[in-house]
Chains A and B, each alone.
Chain A
Amino acid sequence: MSDQTQNPGLIDLAPTSAQKFTTRLLPLILFAAVLLIIPLLGPSRTAYSLLNAIGINIVFALSYNMLLGQTGLLSFGHAVYFGLGAYAAMHGMNAIEAASFDGGTWALMPVFALPVLGFAGGALAGAVIGWPSCRNAGVPFAMISLGIAELIAAAGFMFVSIFGGEEGISADRMNGIEAFGLSLGPISEVYWFIVFWTLIGVVGMYAFTRTPLGKMGQAVRDNPERVQFVGYDPQRVRYLVFIASGGFAGLAGGMSAVNYEIITPESLSLLPSGFVLLMAYIGGIRYFAGPLLGAIVLTWMQSNLSDFSEAWLLYLGLMFIAIVMYAPGGLFGMVLGFARGIIQPDAAPRLTRWGALSAAAMVTFAGVILLTEVAVSRTSGHVFAPGGLPLPPSSPLSWALGLALLIGGGWAIRHLSQRFAS
C-alpha cells in the first residue's frame, strides 16, 4: 500500500484482504462447516462409511496433486506411500493394543493420533525413494515410480512378518487412550476422527502451496532451467515436495488403517496408484480443490455405480479420456467455467451454446451406456430395461437404437462445435 501512495501511477495487483478472505479462507470455512453439519442430518451407516472413504480419498488425492498438479511430477506409484503409511499406523495400533495389557510407552499414544505415524512412515519412504527419482520430471520420473511401485508391491507379498502376506495385517482400534472422549467404536465416532484429519490434511496441504517451497515447486513445474538459473536446485525442490507429498499420502494411509482396521499388500500395488491418478485428474489438477471434487465423485461412483453396473470401470475410463481430450481443467474446471459464464455479461447466447453441446454429449453418452449395458446383459442375463423398455441383446433393435444415439449425438457435437466456432 505504501508503494501505491508513493507512485500513484502504479496499480497494486496484490489481492485485498477481502479478496484473500473470499478466495482462500472462506472456501475452507465452508468445507469445514459442511463436514460439521452432515451428522446433524442423521446419515445411515452406509452413508457414514461412504463419507469416511471420501475423507481418506480427499487427503490421498490432494497429496497426489502436490506432485502432478503443483510440481509437474507424474507418478504411477503413489499408493506406495499411502500403503507404507497405513502399515506404519497399523503396526502402531497393534503396539498400542499390546501396551494396553503390558504397559510401555505405546500406552501413551492414542489411536486417534495414529495418522501422525502414517505421515512419518510416508515421509520416510519418500525421503528414501525420492532422491534418485527426482532428478528429472516427465517420463523418467514416471517410469521410476512405476518400477519402484512394482518392486515394493512384490516385496509386500514376500516379507510376511511386516506386510502380513496375502491376508495383510489387521488390528483393533478400540484400545489405549480415548482422545476427545471418542472410543472410535461406532462408525459415527470414526467420522469425527476422519473429519479431524481430513481438515488437518486439507488445511496443511493448502498452506503448503502458500509456502516458499510450494511456490518453488510450481516454478520447477513451469520452467526448471530458469529455476536453476536463479540459483535453486530443481532436484532438491522436487525432492522436498516429494517427501511432503509422501507424508500426506501416509497420513491418508493412517486414516484408512484406523477406519478399515486392515491393510493388505494389494494397497501398495499399481491399481490404487492408478485410481488416485484418475481421482486427481478427473477432478482437475490445475486447481487446488480439483482433486477434492474428484475424490468425492469417484469414491461415490466406486461405491454406488459398481452395484448398479458391471461396466462402471469402462465409464470411468471413458470419462477420464474425455477429460484428457476435451477438458484438461477437469470437473472443477468445468464447474468454475460454468459459474464464470453465468456471471459474465452476454450470458444468454453462451448458455444456449453450452446447453446444446451438453445435450448432444448426453445423447452420445446415452448411446454408449445403452450399447454397453446391452453387451453386458449378454452374459449377466439381466435384460437392460431403461424406463421399462426391455432391450434384449438378441434383438438387433437394441443395438440399432444404441448406435443411432451414439452416431446421432456424435454428429450433433461435431456440427454444433463447427457452427459455434465460425
Chain B
Amino acid sequence: METIAFALLNGLIYGLLLFMLSSGLTLIFSMMGVLNFAHASFYMLGAYFAFTLGNFTGFWVALFLAPILVGLAGAAVERWGLRPVHANGHVAELLFTFGLAYVIEEIVKITWGKVAVPYQVPSALDFPLFELFGSQYPAYRIFMLLISILMLVGLWYLLKRTRIGLIIQAALTHPHMVSHLGHNVPRIFMLVFAAGCALAGLAGVIGGNYLVTEPSMAFAIGPIVFVVVVVGGMGSLEGAFIASLLIGFLQTFAISIDANFADFFGWLGLQATSEVGRITIASLAPMLPFLLLVLMLMLRPRGLMGEREF
C-alpha cells in the first residue's frame, strides 16, 4: 500500500514533467513534421539559465525569466536555423536538430563546466509538507505538481478557447488554407516552436533542481520524450498526456518492485542464481519506454491517439 501510494504520486509528478516536455515537442512535430532532437537541450538550457539567473534574482524571478529566455533562443533557432533548412526536406531538418543538440551540449559544457552545478531547491520550498505512512513528503514535489497542472490548464485554455489557439489548430492540419486566409504561417510556426521550447525550459527550471543539472541531462531524457510523442500519436496532445503518465507510472512502479525474473518465471525452472533469473524488474525500468516504443511502432504505428501515421 505504502509503495503503491508513493509510486503513484512520484509517477504522476514524473509523468507531468514528461508531458511538459512532450507537449511542445508534439505540437512542433505535428506542425512541421520534424522530431526536434534538440528539444531536451532546451530543457537543459532552462535548468542552467534558472541556476545562473537564480544566483542574481532568486528562484522566483528565474522561474519566469528562464523559460522566456529559452523561448527566445528557440525562436532564434527556428528563424535562422530551421527555416532555411526546411527547403532541404525533413531528414535535413531532423539532422539539423541532431547537430544542434550536440552543439548545445558542448556550449553548456564550456560555459558551466562538465560536472553538475549546485542548482538547489529554493529554501522556501525545502521542507516536508506532509507525512505519508510515516515517511515525509517534500513540499517541492507538490509544487512541481501544481506548476504542471497550471501549465496543463493554461495550455488547454490557450489552444481550445482563444483565437490564437484556433489558428494554431487550423495550421496543424491545413497550413495552406490558413495562409490563404491572411495569417502569417511561418510566424505561427516560429511562435509555436518558441512556446514549445519555453515549456521545455520551464520543465528544466522545475526539474533541474529536483533531478540534477548536468550536461548529460538532455541526453538522458531526450529519447524518453521521443517515446512519449511517438506512443501518444502524431498531433495529439491528449495522446501525449496519456503516454506521459503511462511512462511515468511504468518507470516509477518498475523501480519500486522488488523482484527478479526468477520470482516470475520460477515455475519454468528459472534459477535465481542464473544470469537471466538474476535480472531485477527495477533494472529493467530504463529499458521499458524503449520496449514500448518499438512495440508501438511495430503494432500500431499511428500511436495511441494519433489521427494519421507519420
Residues of A within 8 A of B (CB): 72, 74, 132, 135-136, 138-140, 142-144, 146-148, 150-151, 154-155, 158-161, 270, 274, 277, 281, 310-311, 313-314, 316-318, 320-321, 324-325, 328, 372, 375-376, 379
Contact = CB atoms under 8 A, between A and B. Distances in A.
B90 A321 contact: no
Given A143-B35, A314-B106, 19 more contacts: A139-B35, A140-B309, A143-B226, A143-B230, A146-B223, A150-B287, A151-B294, A154-B286, A154-B287, A158-B283, A161-B275, A317-B102, A320-B99, A321-B99, A321-B100, A321-B103, A324-B85, A324-B92, A375-B111
Interface in B88-105: 88, 90-92, 94-96, 98-100, 102-103
A161 B274 CA distance: 11
B102 A325 contact: no
A318 B293 contact: no
Task: Kindly name the residue among A142, A146, A155, A281 whose own CB sees the greatest number of chain B CB atoms within 10 A.
Answer: A146
A346 B227 CA distance: 53
A144 B294 contact: yes
B155 interface: no
Given A160-B275, A324-B96, A140 B297 contact: yes
B227 A317 contact: no
A375 B106 CA distance: 12
A374 B21 CA distance: 33
B286 A376 contact: no
B165 interface: no
Nearest to A141: B297
A146 B106 contact: no
Interface residues of B, number: 40
Contact of B279 (A72, A158, A311): A158
B113 interface: yes
A310 B92 CA distance: 28
Nearest to A319: B99
A317 B99 contact: yes
B290 A139 contact: no
A144 to B, nearest CB: 5
Contacts of B84: 325
17 contacts: A74-B94, A74-B95, A132-B294, A138-B91, A140-B301, A146-B223, A146-B290, A147-B291, A150-B287, A151-B290, A151-B294, A154-B287, A314-B106, A317-B103, A324-B95, A376-B110, A379-B113
Nearest to B219: A270
Contacts of B106: 311, 313-314, 317
Contacts of B170: none
B226 A151 contact: no
The 10 A-B residue pairs whose C-beta atoms are closest, nearest first, are A317-B102, A314-B106, A317-B103, A147-B293, A320-B99, A321-B99, A147-B290, A150-B290, A147-B294, A132-B298
B94 A375 contact: no
B107 interface: yes
Given A159-B275, A317-B106, A139 B94 contact: yes
Contacts of A160: 275
A281 B310 contact: no
Contacts of B277: none
A154 B291 CA distance: 11
A314 B309 CA distance: 35
A322 to B, nearest CB: 9
Contacts of A313: 102, 106
B106 to A, nearest CB: 4
Given A159-B275, A321-B99, A379-B113, A328 B88 contact: yes
Nearest to B112: A379
A270 B222 CA distance: 12
Contact of B98 (A158, A277, A316, A379): A277
A395 B84 CA distance: 36
B99 A314 contact: no
A143 to B, nearest CB: 5
A144 B231 CA distance: 12
A296 to B, nearest CB: 20
Contacts of B230: 143
A281 B95 CA distance: 9
B247 to A, nearest CB: 13
Interface string B208-232: 0000000000000001001100100
A148 B88 contact: no
Contacts of A310: 110
B223 A150 contact: yes
Nearest to B230: A143
Contacts of B94: 74, 139, 142
Given A321-B96, A325-B85, A147 B297 contact: yes
